[in-house]
Amino acid sequence: MPAASIDTFFACSLMVLLAVSAMALTSKLLYPSLTNTNYENIAERYREISKYLLLDAGTPSNWGRNRAAIPEAFGLSKTNPESSYDLDMDKVSRLNSENLYALTYAQVFTVLGMTDVSFSIEIKPLFDVAINLTASIAAANDTTYLFEITTSKSGAEISSLLKCYVVANDYLENSVVYSSNGRQQVSVTLPNNVTGPALLAVFASSTANSKIESFNAFAFAHSSAEPKPNNTFLTLSPLNYTVDASFSSQGLNLSTAYALTFDYASTMAIGAFDNRSAAYAIPHFADSAPMILVVTGHNSTAFFSEWTAYPQIPLRAGANFNDSTAVSDVFAYTYVVTIDSSFYGCNVWVGGPKE
């Protein structure tokens, strides 16, 4: 299928999902008791539960931004949503197991109070960004790296605008905006006197709708050894426009931290810190868009860069239904949600004992 046809289908599919999602506001206002089993069928009850998780703000309604708070009632909606399925970025981030302040599934299960129902939730961008290093060309004073950036949905390539950033030791450079039909060659040139490893951060904005954005990051060697996996040195936990960087070992020295979006890039000011952690203030940019947060530093003499996203997605949290389908009724529900005005895909699985 041509890229233009795929993009049209992508945009139309989004509009249909948004129209269906908008109908859920009435469901919230007239919401029946979750523990009431007097439904025409179990699928109807499970669908209402899946909606409740996304439409209710929980109690207290600002529980997401409080690192120590365990909600009395669970819900992922913003306190004052601008539309149905408008989720709170901090509540979503606290579902990510990589966040030090994440709620456990046991905590959420207890708060929901439905002992006969389990759930799993997945939130991710509506399309994927893949980064592949294809070649490197060394010269006397610099080295050029060639990357192939692919944007796709379920294997079909998606047209997008691309923005790239390169982070290395005391080094930040951003690219021009590339117009991609789904597969784009990008070249990055780094001076040889800049030490790595380096990090290529990529943002993609769908040409079908600028509020549909995706992102990814790729670490590569440059005048350095091969990079360690992400989260080797630091655990980054963004909440309430602060990112906590918790050290995985002693002897780390932090350097520069960056907040990146499609349109903006800024360093982050360090606040409280000690020999075990540091906190950085996340800037409030003029546009509402997903961010990539990068914190750099040194382990003895080796440079490193660690990254995470804010909101902290993609994520999947909750029960594992892979081995339980033989003894459980499991239903899957798909939604388009907004987080800070950007669109994301959300899948909710709800299951319980077979009738």
Give me the pLDDT at residue 110, please: 94
Is residue 17 scored above 60 in pLDDT?
no
Tokens of 259: 């907040």
Other C-beta atoms within 10 Å of 33: how many? 8
Q: Decide the pairing of beta strands 328-339 and 86-87.
A: parallel
pLDDT in tens, 91-132: 999 999 999 999 999 999 999 998 889 999 999 999 999 999
pLDDT in tens, 268-317: 999 988 889 999 999 999 988 999 999 999 998 799 999 999 999 999 99
Is residue 37 scored above 70 in pLDDT?
no
State the burial class of residue 265 (Cβ atoms within 10 Å of its Cβ: 0-12, 13-18, 19+): buried
In contact, 166 and 200? CB cutoff 8 Å: yes
pLDDT band at 39 (very low <50, low <70, confident <90, very high): low
Give me the pLDDT at residue 327, please: 57
pLDDT in tens, 250-261: 889 999 999 999
pLDDT in tens, 24-36: 443 343 344 455 5
In contact, 318 and 349? CB cutoff 8 Å: yes
Domain ranges within the chain, ordered by starting residue: 3-125+313-353, 128-310
Q: How far is CA 197 from CA 2, 97, 230, 309, in A?
A: 38, 26, 12, 20
pLDDT band at 242 (very low <50, low <70, confident <90, very high): very high
pLDDT band at 324 (very low <50, low <70, confident <90, very high): low
pLDDT in tens, 84-93: 999 999 999 9
- pTM value surpassing 0.85: yes
pLDDT in tens, 142-170: 999 999 999 999 999 999 999 999 999 99
Is residue 232 scored above 50 in pLDDT?
yes
